[in-house]
């Protein structure tokens, strides 16, 4: 592999990453853009391998509300069918001469009133069978509403790092050489302090004729900022100690590698530590670019405007191919 020849032997390897070393057993990227590991688990049933509580807290809001609504309609359709099967004549208040569809609709709304324990009194059960069904539905409704309320509270109270990552990382001019850069910014009215960043480079290289995964910690210009109020451009200077030293544009385009980013900060609103993760494959790294400034003062010059639409805005930048002598020496 060309990447093995470019590999800087001075770079320190990180062993305790939690990722396997056998590259032939891996498929795709190590970490998805949303920060979740790119892993699909098998060998156990669906109910065993999925935490429904965590899933309900993690899914988007529109999916969560859609599931709640779908469950509510499905349960009431189920109980309406039971009432209809038991005989709507046992539901006092439903006109006997109504059509079958109207009877079912009346049973559905009676089910909704029983499920939510509203009980308007327009329709009421008569007889032991239907009263037992209504009692069972009322209990189901109480438990379901308590569960839904807990999920709503969990979603609102869950400590979350409201951070956005730039869609691309870039290789940009930096001081006398170049640097790997990516950008993050908070997008809600929260205050994050003591923010720390950690970058890890994962690469597939060939050793003894076999592809293996190797991981390298990337040293940052600043690993910690006291307050994360504006955007933060995270910079890894590509020096002689960097595993990316001597990499050309073609190396990023033709080889498999991934930059994994881990952010940890303290949110004083939650009074808790929050984390955020993402990653950039080599194909998501733009060689020869620089970020466009994304904040400026307002017209009155009394406040700072943070333009989140410019988080991934960059322009081209000329980079002289550095370290050619070193690269040739490594190749030879």
Q: Hey, how many other C-beta atoms are within 10 angstroms of the C-beta on 210?
A: 11
**Residue 24 pLDDT level (bands cut at 50, 70, 90):** low
Q: Is residue 47 part of a domain?
A: no
Residues 194 and 277 grouped into a single domain: yes
Which of the listed residues 157, 178, 198 is the one where a domain comes to its end?
157
**Residue 326 pLDDT level (bands cut at 50, 70, 90):** very low
- Count up the domains in the chain and report the number: 2
Return all residues near 170 (Cβ < 8 A) that are at least 6 apart: 180, 181, 182, 285, 286, 287, 289, 290, 291, 314
Range in 43-47, 74-78, 188-192 with the lowest mean pLDDT: 43-47
- The token duo for 311 is 């988080």
Range in 50-54, 169-173, 284-288, 325-329 with the lowest mean pLDDT: 325-329
Q: For residues 94 and 107, what is the distance between their CA atoms, to the nearest angstrom?
A: 8
Residues 71 and 185 grouped into a single domain: no
**Residue 330 pLDDT level (bands cut at 50, 70, 90):** very low
Using an 8 Å Cβ cutoff, are 60 and 287 in contact? Answer: no
Residue 248 pairs with which residues in a beta bridge? none
Residues 254 and 215 grouped into a single domain: yes
Using an 8 Å Cβ cutoff, are 291 and 170 in contact? Answer: yes
* H helical segments located in the chain: 2-6, 46-49, 52-58, 61-86, 100-115, 128-157, 249-254, 324-331
**Looking at residues 248-261, what average pLDDT do you find?**
90
Picking from 211, 262, 287, the residue whose alpha carbon sits closest to that of residue 4 is 211
Residues 94 and 146 grouped into a single domain: yes
Residues 104 and 225 grouped into a single domain: no
Query: For position 328, what pLDDT does the model report?
Result: 33
- The token duo for 282 is 């080599």
Range of the domain at 288: 2-33+167-331
**What is the per-residue DSSP string for 173-232?**
EETTEEEEEEEEEE-SS--EEEEEEEEEEEEEEEETTEEEEEEEEEP-S-SEEEEESS-E
What is the total residue count of the chain?
A: 332
Residues 181 and 276 grouped into a single domain: yes
**Residue 53 pLDDT level (bands cut at 50, 70, 90):** confident
Residues 94 and 145 grouped into a single domain: yes
**Residue 23 pLDDT level (bands cut at 50, 70, 90):** low
Query: For position 32, what pLDDT does the model report?
Result: 84
**Torsion sign over Cα 278, 284, 285, 290:** negative
pTM here is: 0.76
Q: For residues 115 and 224, what is the distance between their CA atoms, to the nearest angstrom?
A: 52
Q: Is residue 43 part of a domain?
A: no
Residues 97 and 190 grouped into a single domain: no
Query: For position 8, what pLDDT does the model report?
Result: 54
Residues 119 and 264 grouped into a single domain: no
Q: For residues 275 and 163, what is the distance between their CA atoms, to the nearest angstrom?
A: 9
Q: Is residue 301 part of a domain?
A: yes
């Amino acid at each position: 592999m060309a990447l093995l020849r470019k590999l800087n032997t001075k770079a320190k390897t990180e062993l305790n990453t939690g990722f396997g070393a056998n590259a032939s057993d891996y498929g795709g990227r190590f970490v998805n853009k949303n920060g979740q590991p790119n892993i699909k688990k098998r060998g156990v049933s669906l109910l065993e391998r999925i935490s429904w509580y965590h899933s309900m807290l993690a899914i988007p809001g529109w999916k969560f509300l859609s599931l709640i609504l779908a469950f509510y309609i499905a349960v009431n359709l189920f109980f309406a069918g039971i009432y209809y099967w038991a005989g709507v004549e046992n539901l006092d208040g439903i006109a006997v001469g109504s059509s079958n569809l109207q009877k079912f609709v009346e049973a559905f709304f009676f089910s909704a009133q029983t499920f939510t324990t509203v009980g308007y009194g327009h329709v009421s059960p008569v007889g032991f069978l239907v009263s037992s069904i209504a009692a069972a539905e009322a209990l189901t409704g109480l438990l379901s509403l308590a569960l839904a309320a807990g999920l709503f509270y969990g979603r609102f109270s869950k400590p979350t790092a409201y951070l956005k990552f730039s869609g691309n990382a870039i290789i940009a001019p930096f001081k006398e050489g170049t640097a790997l850069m990516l950008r993050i910014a908070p997008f809600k009215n929260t205050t994050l302090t003591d923010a720390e960043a950690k970058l890890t480079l994962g690469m597939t290289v060939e050793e003894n004729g076999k592809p293996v995964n190797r991981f390298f910690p990337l040293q940052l210009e600043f690993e910690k900022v006291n307050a994360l109020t504006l955007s933060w451009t995270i910079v890894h200077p590509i020096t002689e100690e960097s595993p990316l030293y001597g990499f050309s544009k073609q190396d990023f385009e033709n080889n498999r590698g991934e930059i994994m980013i881990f952010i940890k900060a303290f949110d004083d609103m939650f009074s808790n530590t929050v984390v955020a993760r993402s990653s950039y494959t080599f194909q998501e790294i733009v060689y020869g670019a620089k970020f466009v400034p994304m904040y400026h003062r307002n017209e009155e010059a009394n406040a700072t405007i943070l333009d989140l639409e410019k988080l991934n805005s960059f322009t081209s930048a000329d980079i002289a191919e550095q370290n050619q002598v070193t690269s040739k020496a490594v190749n030879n």
